[in-house]
Amino acid sequence: MLSTQRSLTTTQLGRNSFEEILESRTPWREAALESFRRRNAILDGIFYDIGKVTREETLRIAPWLAREGTILVVPPTGAGSLVLCGTVDDFADAGGSEIRTLVVAGVGSSALGAAAFARNVADAFGTPVAAVVSGYGLADLLTEALGGWFWFGTLNRLRHQFEGIDAISRALNRPETVSSMSSAPELGRLSLDTKTVMELLADRRFDFSLLTGHSKGNLVISEALYELENHAQIPDDKFCIVTVSAAVAMPRRYKKIIDVMGTIDGFGALNSTPGISIEKNCPLSWHHTNTDMFFHLPVTKVFKELRSERKLSL
């Protein structure tokens, strides 16, 4: 547990000061969300393997804990430091065309959790992966009040009803990250993390072959794929999809789907789409992936086994 505690302590030391909150474009929004952001960093310490994120990386991403839609480039352990990308163009400049794996951690998780999940996957393949930060916006705060941290299947639809609040505050706070895609009326109901995933998958500069999410991150991937279902430039067999800890329905055009679930993961089963079979069961594994804790789902080991079983490749 020492590595987890170290990462959490470093994160808290690197968070925004009260002065920085007051100087932001939308101080009311930042102040309202700050306690939830710090809480979610603590939750990430439970659900994600944050001890795999170095102290330097933790300090770098601490001010970005809840900036929904941020993209991280995360190399394997010992292969360099992660890179923060505020826009899709920044990701392209950071070598995005060479990256084949895109991951999304659970919605409401911080950049710390996203980085940890991405590192677990990167360690399995020995190559850098891209991660989209789900973040934590005002729309999430409102559904949180209804108890929606785990019950995301139903409340996700309600969450979209509040996205207009976030759209206004994001435009005021970070206009440089509001993409041209987000201005389309038919996408107005989508959250920024979903829009970012859509942009990455539809951009001809990138060539992803593996998509994977943990918990509600699978729903973000699902929403993005459904919105892109009629996108002519994406072949039916373009992606292999691996869902971890929540088996969520995907468009029928995608056939290479592997659903992974811990055998004692009641939360994951509760939030899965009924009728989906689990291809890989992980014995005595619960919903969390933190290797410092008992009954974790061993993400790196799982992906290595899937590779050795020739069920997926990059």
Asked whether 111 and 129 are in contact (CB, 8 A), the reply is no
Domain presence at residue 36: yes
What is the distance between the alpha carbons of residues 297 and 263, in angstroms, rounded to a whole number? Answer: 10
| Both tokens assigned to 130 | 């891209």
- Expressed as residue numbers, the domain containing 294 is 2-138+191-308
pLDDT attached to residue 145: 44
10-24 pLDDT tens trace = 655 555 544 444 445
Confidence of residue 3 (pLDDT cuts 50, 70, 90): confident
Instruction: Kindly report the three-state secondary structure assignment for every residue of 92-125.
Output: HHCCHHHCCEEEECCCCCCHHHHHHHHHHHHHHH
Domain presence at residue 180: no
Query: What CATH number did the domain enclosing 21 receive?
Result: 3.40.50
Domain presence at residue 152: no
What is the distance between the alpha carbons of residues 225 and 231, in angstroms, rounded to a whole number? Answer: 9
Poorest-pLDDT segment among 15-19, 64-68, 72-76: 15-19
Out of 3-12, 35-44, 186-195, 207-216, give the one with best mean pLDDT: 207-216
Q: Please report, rounded to a whole number, the percentage of residues in the chain having pLDDT higher than 90.
A: 44
Model pTM greater than 0.75?
yes
Domain count, the chain: 1
pLDDT attached to residue 94: 96
Domain presence at residue 156: no
Domain presence at residue 7: yes
Over range 34-50, report the average pLDDT: 72
Domain presence at residue 118: yes
In the three-class reduction of DSSP (H, G, I as helix; E, B as strand; rest coil), residue 131 is classed as: strand
Domain presence at residue 108: yes
Domain presence at residue 155: no
Asked whether 146 and 155 are in contact (CB, 8 A), the reply is yes
pLDDT attached to residue 271: 81
Confidence of residue 123 (pLDDT cuts 50, 70, 90): very high
